[in-house]
Structure 1
Amino acid sequence: VFGEVKDGDPVHVSFYQGGVRRFDGIDTGLDSLLDFPLFYPARRAFGEGGSVREVAQALSKDYLYTNPGLLVTLVGGHDDGRFMSEKGASVAGAKLAHTFILTTRGVPQLYYGDEIGMTGPDEPTTRRDFPGGFPGDARDAFTRAGRTPEEQELFDYVRRVVHLHTELEPLRRGALKDLYVADQQYAYGRTTARSSVIVVINNDSKAVGFEFSVAEANLKDGTRLEDHLETLRGEMRVERGRVSVTMPARSAAVLVPRGTFPSGVELEKDGPRGRGGVKTF
């Protein structure tokens, strides 16, 4: 069960997560809460082009929660306007925002329609029907044929990151370790006892090269890494405990040690109706 405390201050929000009795002697019993203290800086960073350092700073307050791994992460909803209605929002920013919530700690929540970039600055526009699904609708965005090229681009990307979240155990259960934090660049590891994944985000409007230590991600020298988002081509190697990357403008990479195989999940190709999906076997 999760609750909603619409406040950007983690001191206030964490008070309501269950598992401990606060000064008033009450344990709320709530397993989780909507992570608004992370929502707001993520929207500013990826929607408006603000600093990703603010995102990392929000996560540094995780010690306030009884279980930050159960917090519901989000970048869209009906209360604050859709992501694509944020001033300065773009498809590139939406890709980064969804990459972030699907690879950081917590339980990701995607607001319907954000996967195709629906707009709506406020109530009631944020609650407009998803296009399609009923007789007489002008178009059916549940199918490839009913999506615009821009909608399809975002849809394909979000589906790919959802697939990685399903496929790679560290993205669901791994400890979160900051590896590199700058004004517009952020790299973090998700680490379990068995494996690690590194996520790299460049929120800048230009390409940037940088390197960072992967010691906290438990990756040994010589480990070969592949980008499962295919932003970076070829292999990267861990050398002297560090990884060097050159990231294109407003892009993300999910670096996985070579030989890390899918955990029984594959991405289905679009069928005649263009629906696609994730298949477990």
Structure 2
Amino acid sequence: MNKHAIHHITDVPYVYGKNTEILIVKLRAASKEIKNCRIYYKDRYDFNGEFKVNEMYKVLETELFDFYEAEIFIEEKRYRYFFEVEDFNGEVIYYNERGVIEKKPSEDNAFIYPYLAIGDLYEEVKWAQEGIVYQIFPDRFNNGDTSNDPEGVKPWGDKVTIDNMFGGDLQGIIDKLDYFKDLGVTMIYMTPIFLSQSNHKYNTRDYYKIDPCFGDAGKARELVNKCHAAGIKVIFDAVFNHSGHDFFAFKDVMEKGQKSKYKSWYFINDYPINTENPNYITFSNYESTMPKLNTSNPEVKNYLLEVGEFWIKEAQIDGWRLDVSDEIDHSFWRAFRERIKKANEEAFIIGEIMHEGASFLRGDQMDSIMNYPFRQMCLDFFARRCISASELNHILETNRSLYTHSINKQMLNLIDSHDTPRFLTECEGDVKRMKLAVALQYTYIGIPYIYYGDEIGMEGGADPDSRRCMVWEDENQNKELFNFYKKLNYIRKNNKALVHGNYKNMFKKDNILAFKRETKLENLYIAINNNYEEKNLKVDFSEGFDLYEEKEIEIKNNEIKLEPMSFRIIKM
């Protein structure tokens, strides 16, 4: 037995409360080595009674590790526990706070989960789990009110540059509510709409003012109200890592230097301020117009928390997407969560984190992140075609092992965004490759995420090319692709196993990924053939209904046929 692989800690995601009654406990072991895994547990203050014993079941399988899990219940909510692990050779070991031991341990060294406290329970955002996100870059989506067009606005559809503007606005989004309903999206996330000199608005001048080129606070409220009436939630974008260089506090520092009462709002190296060769910390290494805010400063912290709370109440928005959130301290985000959830307990808090974000997703800060690791694995498997199905499954399982079940169901599974090249462009224009990635988005655990225009076949390279104007002419839209998205939205909404079901890999060879999504009421089998040739796949069922093709499937010799570059969503 590979004892080095045995691992458990008394912290998320290895132990946490499912609710006020149930504790979820996880143990890691070497891949394909363990025959039986059990947990021994009892009340931490029961020194004389016998331990209860529960079987642990495999819930994750990576190339290196298997993860076992059990749900345990003690009425007093205080836990003392250890593990028994048996391999296929009959070797039995025990695992407690001292590590791996050969004999059944004494109670003194058991793991302790002191108390299943209500305040430590994570409240999942159930409405978000069942959602479909649509991201909008407001200046490029739709121009609904030409009277607020900025000076020098370019004709719709012209070539984009770093600094040109096209007149998209909030009215333009309102005008397309029927489009959203027809497509089937349930959540709109807009990049920043607050006053700023740029087209992207990530260098905020005034956090309390909607940029006039988009509308005003009244128009923002109208947008939210009409979206809510249509069953669509609205997420705003908060840029709290940095402000614009024309934000009142930084302007004061530029004018008054060391005498400014706002100098500690930023990280200034020396004076006077030099915006040509910044002598202050900025977003990235070169964005002089984006000086980094000192969120450890109580005044800065309180100012930004009030901004977050203000728009939750003022416009009745349903949550925030948090820009560059991994560069802001955890204590700020804990305070932010407390303030926002107090204003709206069902608000959805999403971090922009382009890597794994476990330290931000422990239940005390964010509800979700933009799942860029999902994008990267889709790029490698479907677009670049440089990893195998086995490697893809390994990455999926490894990524999922980092988080609790609730958080995994809330991850925003994107394949592109305003900060990346379009996925179709990454696929060299091959729509078949993109459709397979989208099929995985809609059938894997997490929330499907559409970047505006993907659904009608828009392309674009790196920023700013990925921020082209939305194509609205019917003859220039890929209607077949639009209907593809529309159908997947319908399937996901009407098959809750795609939202709440467990994931179990069934096949991961020959560029074919197959898995099950299962609940007590539903059992779905998904097969994705990432080959330009027809393939046959062995299955463990004798009949089923293809939800996408809307017909009974044909099974011969326990095999189903997979057309080239195709997928199946089979209800059994």
Question: What range is the shorter-chain TM-score in?
Answer: 0.7 to 0.9
Please report how far the alpha carbon of residue 157 of structure 1 lies from its aligned counterpart in structure 2 after TM superposition: 1.3
Please report how far the alpha carbon of residue 206 of structure 1 lies from its aligned counterpart in structure 2 after TM superposition: 0.7
* Residue 247 of structure 1 pairs with residue 562 of structure 2: yes
Structure 1: gaps spanning 5 or more residues: 20-26, 133-139, 214-220, 258-281
Supply the distance in 2 between the matched residues of 1:238 and 1:2 (Cα, whole angstroms).
46
Supply the distance in 2 between the matched residues of 1:181 and 1:118 (Cα, whole angstroms).
31
Supply the distance in 2 between the matched residues of 1:209 and 1:35 (Cα, whole angstroms).
32
1:56 maps to which of 390, 393, 410: 393
Q: SS state of the match for residue 177, structure 1?
A: strand
Higher-Rg member (1/2): 2
Amino acid aligned to 2:563: P
Supply the distance in 2 between the matched residues of 1:115 and 1:156 (Cα, whole angstroms).
8
1:4 maps to which of 352, 362, 387: 352
Supply the distance in 2 between the matched residues of 1:86 and 1:131 (Cα, whole angstroms).
19
Please report how far the alpha carbon of residue 237 of structure 1 lies from its aligned counterpart in structure 2 after TM superposition: 5.7
Please report how far the alpha carbon of residue 88 of structure 1 lies from its aligned counterpart in structure 2 after TM superposition: 3.5
2:511 maps to which of 184, 187, 195: 184
Identify the residue that residue 105 of structure 2 maps to in structure 1. Answer: none
Amino acid aligned to 2:436: L
Identify the residue that residue 538 of structure 2 maps to in structure 1. Answer: 211
Identify the residue that residue 436 of structure 2 maps to in structure 1. Answer: 96
* Residue 38 of structure 1 pairs with residue 374 of structure 2: yes
Supply the distance in 2 between the matched residues of 1:252 and 1:203 (Cα, whole angstroms).
9
Contact 2:492 2:498 in 1 (8 A): yes
Cα distance per residue 1:113-140 (max 9 Å; x no partner): 11111111111111112113xxxxxxx2
Supply the distance in 2 between the matched residues of 1:154 and 1:94 (Cα, whole angstroms).
10
Contact 1:190 1:196 in 2 (8 A): yes
Identify the residue that residue 226 of structure 1 maps to in structure 2. Answer: 545
Structure 2: gaps spanning 5 or more residues: 1-348
2:553 maps to which of 235, 241, 245: 235
Change (3 A) 1:212 1:14: farther
Cα distance per residue 1:213-242 (max 9 Å; x no partner): 4xxxxxxx65x20112229x6434699xxx
Identify the residue that residue 24 of structure 1 maps to in structure 2. Answer: none
Q: SS state of the match for residue 254, structure 1?
A: strand
Amino acid aligned to 1:235: I
Contact 2:427 2:434 in 1 (8 A): no
Supply the distance in 1 between the matched residues of 2:508 and 2:445 (Cα, whole angstroms).
16
Please report how far the alpha carbon of residue 181 of structure 1 lies from its aligned counterpart in structure 2 after TM superposition: 0.9
Contact 2:507 2:515 in 1 (8 A): yes
Identical-pair percentage = 25
Supply the distance in 1 between the matched residues of 2:486 and 2:476 (Cα, whole angstroms).
14
Supply the distance in 1 between the matched residues of 2:361 and 2:397 (Cα, whole angstroms).
17
Supply the distance in 1 between the matched residues of 2:567 and 2:437 (Cα, whole angstroms).
10
Which residues of 2 match residues 125-144 of structure 1 at below 5 A? Answer: 125-132=465-472, 140=473
Contact 1:48 1:89 in 2 (8 A): no
Aligned residues: 220
Cα distance per residue 1:142-193 (max 9 Å; x no partner): xxx4345xx1221111211111111111111111111111141011111111
Supply the distance in 1 between the matched residues of 2:529 and 2:454 (Cα, whole angstroms).
21
Cα distance per residue 1:20-48 (max 9 Å; x no partner): xxxxxxx4x10111112221011221222
Contact 2:516 2:525 in 1 (8 A): yes
1:146 maps to which of 475, 478, 485: 475
Once superposed, which parts of structure 1, at least 4 consecutive aligned residues long, lie more than 6 Å away? Answer: none
Output the TM-score relative to the length of structure 2: 0.37
Change (3 A) 1:57 1:211: same
Amino acid aligned to 2:379: R
Change (3 A) 1:18 1:113: same
Supply the distance in 2 between the matched residues of 1:179 and 1:127 (Cα, whole angstroms).
38
Amino acid aligned to 1:18: R
Output the TM-score relative to the length of structure 1: 0.72
Please report how far the alpha carbon of residue 108 of structure 1 lies from its aligned counterpart in structure 2 after TM superposition: 1.2
Q: SS state of the match for residue 130, structure 1?
A: coil
Supply the distance in 1 between the matched residues of 2:488 and 2:392 (Cα, whole angstroms).
19
CA RMSD of aligned residues (A): 2.1
Amino acid aligned to 2:413: T
1:15 maps to which of 359, 362, 372: 359
